[in-house]
């Protein structure tokens, strides 16, 4: 039985690297895959260690089940891999579940669990609720503890306490911290 997988972590834990490695493993064995990432982030799927791959882009309006099944009819797919899965809508997560259940194509989703305010993203909440398999990757806080939170910082590296849930950025905008250091960083000076 194909499964819906959700691999989640804070920033800089290697989610995209893990996705690209899984994709490579399928393709190395001659199996076709379909990669997806959020259109809000204009970059290809890329890892901090320098590997990347082009991907289809999803928006909130994208019918993933239809797009995947159309592609599967042309070239049988061994797996569907989704980066930035936190940006999926709940309906899109259910579409991915349908792909796994009805088309028997494994779906591997990778993304953040929470935003810079410690709140679940819609896609992450739906995946945590219905995924067949949950995997947490480990990032490390500066203190050595497991980093589970994503602190947003401004250009001067000061913590950002308010703003839109989504702001695209990397090491220049986010710092992975353990919960204790996240709370301490957001405490008013």
* Residue 48, domain member (yes or no): yes
Burial of 81 (0-12, 13-18, 19+ CB in 10 A): buried
Rounded Cα distance between 13 and 25, Å, is 20
Whether 164 shows a pLDDT value over 70: the answer reads no
pLDDT digits (tens, 9 = 90+) for 4-61: 999 999 888 889 999 999 999 999 999 999 999 999 877 788 788 888 899 999 999 9
Of 65, 57, 129, nearest in space to 101 by CA? 65
Q: Under a CB-based contact definition with an 8 Å cutoff, are residues 82 and 110 in contact?
A: yes
pLDDT digits (tens, 9 = 90+) for 95-135: 999 999 999 999 999 999 988 888 899 999 999 999 999 99
Looking at the structure of the chain, the number of domains it has is: 1
Q: Given the structure tokens 């089940």, which residue do they identify?
A: 65
**Is 84 assigned a catalytic role?**
yes
Q: What pLDDT shows up at residue 163?
A: 59
Q: Given the structure tokens 């810079």, which residue do they identify?
A: 116
Q: How far is CA 75 from CA 20, 30, 33, 61, in A?
A: 20, 12, 9, 24
Rounded Cα distance between 65 and 173, Å, is 33
Q: Could you tell me where the DSSP H helices lie in the chain?
A: 15-28, 64-74, 90-102, 122-130, 179-186
Q: Given the structure tokens 């899109």, which residue do they identify?
A: 92
Determine the structural domain holding residue 85 and report its residue range: 4-138
* Residue 19, domain member (yes or no): yes
Whether 147 shows a pLDDT value over 80: the answer reads yes
* Residue 122, domain member (yes or no): yes
Q: Which of 84, 167, 184, 189 is catalytic?
A: 84
* Residue 167, domain member (yes or no): no
Rounded Cα distance between 150 and 161, Å, is 12
* Residue 160, domain member (yes or no): no
pLDDT digits (tens, 9 = 90+) for 69-87: 999 999 999 999 999 999 9
Contacts of 74 by beta carbon, 8 Å cutoff, 6+ apart: none
Whether 180 shows a pLDDT value over 70: the answer reads yes
Hey, what are 90's tokens?
A: 């709940």
The answer, as to whether pTM is greater than 0.85, is yes
CATH number for the domain that contains residue 68:
3.40.50.300
Whether 189 shows a pLDDT value over 50: the answer reads no
């Amino acid at each position: 039985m194909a499964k819906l997988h959700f691999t989640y972590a804070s920033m800089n834990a290697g989610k995209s690297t893990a996705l690209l490695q899984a994709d490579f493993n399928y393709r190395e064995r001659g199996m076709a895959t379909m990669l997806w990432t959020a259109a809000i982030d204009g970059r290809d799927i890329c890892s901090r260690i320098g590997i990347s791959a082009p991907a289809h882009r999803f928006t909130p309006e994208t019918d993933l089940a239809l797009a995947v099944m159309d592609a599967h009819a042309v070239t049988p797919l061994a797996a569907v891999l989704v980066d930035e899965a936190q940006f999926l809508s709940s309906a899109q997560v259910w579409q991915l579940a349908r792909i796994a259940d009805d088309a028997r194509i494994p779906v591997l989703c990778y993304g953040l669990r929470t935003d810079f305010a410690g709140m679940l993203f819609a896609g992450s909440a739906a995946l945590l609720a219905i995924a067949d398999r949950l995997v947490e990757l480990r990032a490390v806080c500066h203190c050595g503890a497991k980093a589970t939170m994503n602190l947003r910082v401004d250009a001067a590296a000061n913590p950002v306490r308010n703003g839109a849930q989504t702001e695209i950025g990397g090491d220049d905008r986010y710092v992975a911290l353990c919960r204790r250091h996240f709370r301490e960083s957001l405490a008013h000076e």
